[in-house]
Amino acid sequence: MATYELETPIPEEAVRALHVGDTVYLSGLIVTGRDAAHKYMVENFIRAGVVPASEQALYEELKRLLNGGVIYHCGPVVRQREDGQWEFVAAGPTTSIREEPYEADVIAHFGLRGVIGKGGMGPQTLRACQEYGAVYFHAVGGAASLIADAVKEVVAVYKKEEFGIPEAFWVIRVEGFPVVVTMDTHGRSIHEQVERSSRDVLNRLVSSSTI
């Protein structure tokens, strides 16, 4: 296990050099996106025959930000200062598995290099990580205020009125954002290993209790 400092946009070769268990400190621009954001991207951009004209500007901006970039499963707590600028008060990760129906398509279409969340994701996302060169970064749950310290600037926000604050696309600049690689480009997933080990233990317990 090694420690890396990476800045977005992240080159593919840098991501493919990472392995499960590595610690990474991320810097640069990242984008938050939860359920509504993922559903929106898939329905309006990825699976739509033609991107609606009204959404074209946002589509181009997301393509720029997410190509080589990172999406963060986060519903932040924010406040607006007197000067009108937004800042993050808390920025803890949300459970990622809800995005499993969408994430592989998002990785493939936008050229994502990283997904941040908690709890891990499933086989579709793991295959996309292998094929397209992306990793899943696990952020520490329960440390929302601490993680918010790594958010140095809110650069922009999209779909806030339509989706609400937690579900909006927040574009943030981070410095030294601490994460751990738990799904890599080599087909390894800590979450899959833990689930398999837990299932084996459960089966042994069940078997012994029926003897």
Catalytic residues: 38
Say how far apart CA 108 and CA 100 lie, in whole Å.
13
Amino acid at position 22, single letter = D
Which helix H or strand E contains 31, and what residues bound it? strand 23-32
Amino acid at position 41, single letter = M
Token pair, residue 175, equals 């410095």
Amino acid at position 184, single letter = D
Output the CA angle 135-62-18, nearest 5 degrees: 15
The separation between CA 171 and the C-alpha centre of its own chain, rounded to angstroms, equals 13
